[in-house]
Amino acid sequence: MAKTMAGALDNLTVLDVTHVLAGPFCTYQLALLGADVIKIESPSDPDCARGRGPDADANAQGLGLNYQVQGGNKRALALDLKTPEGRKVMLDLVRRADVLVENYRTGALERLGLGYEALNKLNPQLIHCSITGYGDTGPDAEAGAYDNVIQAISGTIGQCGGVKPGVSFIDYSTGYSAAFAVTSALLQRARTGRGCHISVSMLEVAMQMMSPEAAAALHPSQVQRAKEPGIAAYDTADGRLMLGAFRPHQYRTLARLLDDLALSAPGLADVEDWPDVWALPEQARRDLVQAFASRTTAEWMDLLRQADLPAAPVQDLTQAVQNPQLADRGYFQKMPAVTLPLTAFRMTQGGPALTKAPPRHGEDSHDILSALGMEPERIQELSDQGVIK
């Protein structure tokens, strides 16, 4: 696919030394906005996400869906950083790069001579973003982690009743946090002329995703409250619906709607403020259970939206991805073999665009080294030695 317009991050070079989910998702956001993202992987041990997904043939080819959903618009360089020759190539790339993103354990790149201090001396304008489980300082700094591990230690699973959410939301929110930090650092560099090191902690991102709850857990006043009946799920005549009557005035609106339908929920009409919401008796919930069971989900959606009350049917993911709203916004884009997600925002100028399919392992190695000025014979030597693929 040909690129049709300049992206907001055109002319920026990003070295993507990441794997699995959080790091690749960060660099995918940058790539969708026009940055030249070079994904650097070991020739013998590529990103493990390449082998994961529902299509066994794609997995075998290193194009697993877990990789593809965050691999578009990138170029792939297979380079062995454990060899002197590979490190020399990496340093040549760093001299010309704007950003480096990595999500290996704290200290891993330092042990290869590729840590921030070394790279900063080589290129003071480089923005070096490190994504780790726990950050680069503290007693757990060098401990490895995955999304599920962070969900456990952060209290996320405990907050969800002891059940792990079935999505890797900490990985992806970490990727967004890192992308935001990188773009902030780019703005700072435009002002100061200098790059910086960024440390992104998955644990801290998990806490950020629960900011009200985490702050309440630290507060000296501990209050146990029942779940508010206006923001709960209810069975309908043919399915299940999530109600979003959150604010006090929305309770009163819901009460009027139910009165018009000759359905009883008398306690809701008296809600004036937050203490009234928290003081609602269990009977209010029972009234809503009975009321919502009287009509279908579609009927309730029409009635609630007419009353300007947020609500949505509880759907499985197969249903959710077919939402016409997503289609209208162009969130999913069809590529030759798969349909891939874009970003969760749009811009009137310089916005995200998916213009290149996710590359195979080492697909662009020769082109990238040629652009560094390396002679074809030397590239072939490195290939024969297994330094590149």
Q: Which residues are catalytic?
A: 171
d(CA 137, CA 201): 10
d(CA 147, CA 202): 8
Strand 74-78 and strand 36-41: the pairing is: parallel
Q: Label residue 202 left, alpha or beta by phi (over 0 means left) and psi (-120 to 50 means alpha).
A: alpha
Q: For residue 69, give both structure tokens.
A: 């959903």
Q: For residue 64, give both structure tokens.
A: 């697993």
Q: In what order do the strands lie in the sheet with 99-102?
A: 74-78, 36-41, 13-17, 99-102, 127-132, 197-201
Question: Measured in whole angstroms, how far is the alpha carbon of residue 159 from the centre of its chain?
Answer: 20
Q: Is 262 exposed, middle or buried (0-12, 13-18, 19+ CB in 10 A)?
A: exposed
Report CA-CA distances (Å) from 203 to 148, 200, 234.
11, 9, 33
Strand 127-132 and strand 197-201: the pairing is: parallel
Find the angle CA(309)-CA(313)-CA(316) to the nearest 5 degrees: 150
DSSP state letter for 103: -
